[in-house]
Structure 1
């Protein structure tokens, strides 16, 4: 089975956050690879990764970056594959700078962005992209959405049963 998703970290400090993406891809049975690269400290490595991603069989790239967050955009500049940026909460602006850097790409170089620290959603979005041509992943996504709805229904029933104070006391 070929690797379908590349997860690129701007730093090893992003690994605890991106573990959520790894777990989510594993839940959907989607193969992935992890790499550490840097748009600033290893620009040649980063460009080479993006340029070879398609020929290596990747379908989507997820890139985590904090602060100026150039990694997702640099990867997107060197590939036609979809790139999903995960802004990392860090620095004086708590990730808002990273969110803006990822979302405000120039015309012709799109990068999808999820919420600050939204690694799980990045993996779900990658799964949805892959599901366009993979019925197995599509069915797993349908089940996932049904599970989400079931969780809401269970919480609603419990709230009705316990009332506000009872629900909150059990929840804590």
Structure 2
């Protein structure tokens, strides 16, 4: 089956954090593939991946990178597909450098950015992009949003029932 979303990691050390994106995509029934590449250590591989993604049927690419975080931008430079950057918390600046690198792309090379370690939101955003042309994914997103409402309502009722100390003790 063709992957709708490509997940590209700058390093295998990003894998534990990016598992949250995988869980979300699987929840929505969105096919994906995962690759490890590097804008710096494997620039030709990264460029080839980005150029071939659309012809292979992908709709969105999620790219996670820390430190200088050039991976999402390099991918975006080689494709017209939407690219979502996930800044990875790492290094002396705890991911702020990666966030700035992803958010401060030059005109003409846009990259959407989520929060530092925001893998879950990256996958939700990818699902929302795909939902613009896929009603089954759109329905799953509506269900997901309703589940969140129900979770909040349940927590609100529980804190009212138990009080602050009782809620925190559970």
TM-score band, normalised by shorter chain? over 0.9
- What residue is the counterpart of 1:31 in the other structure? 31
RMSD over aligned Cα, in angstroms?
Answer: 0.5
- Alpha-carbon distance in 2 for matches of 1:158, 1:165: 12
Instruction: Output the TM-score relative to the length of structure 2.
Output: 0.99
Structure 1: which 4+ aligned runs deviate by more than 2 Å?
none
SS of the aligned residue for 2:136 comes to helix
CA distance in 2, matches of 1:164, 1:39: 49
Number of matched residues? 170
CA distance in 2, matches of 1:18, 1:117: 8
TM-score w.r.t. length of structure 1? 0.98
**SS of 2:56 mapped into structure 1:** coil
Matches within 5 A, 1:8-157: 8-157=8-157
How big is the shift at 1:165?
A: 1.2
How far 1:168 sits from its partner (Å)? 1.3
The offset of 1:162, in angstroms, is: 0.7
1:161 counterpart residue number: 161
Whole-Å separation in 1 of the counterparts to 2:2 and 2:63:
19
Inter-partner Cα distance in structure 2 for 1:58 and 1:97: 29
Distance 1:62 1:24 in 2: 13
CA drift of 1:110 comes to 0.4
**Unaligned 5+ runs, structure 2:** none
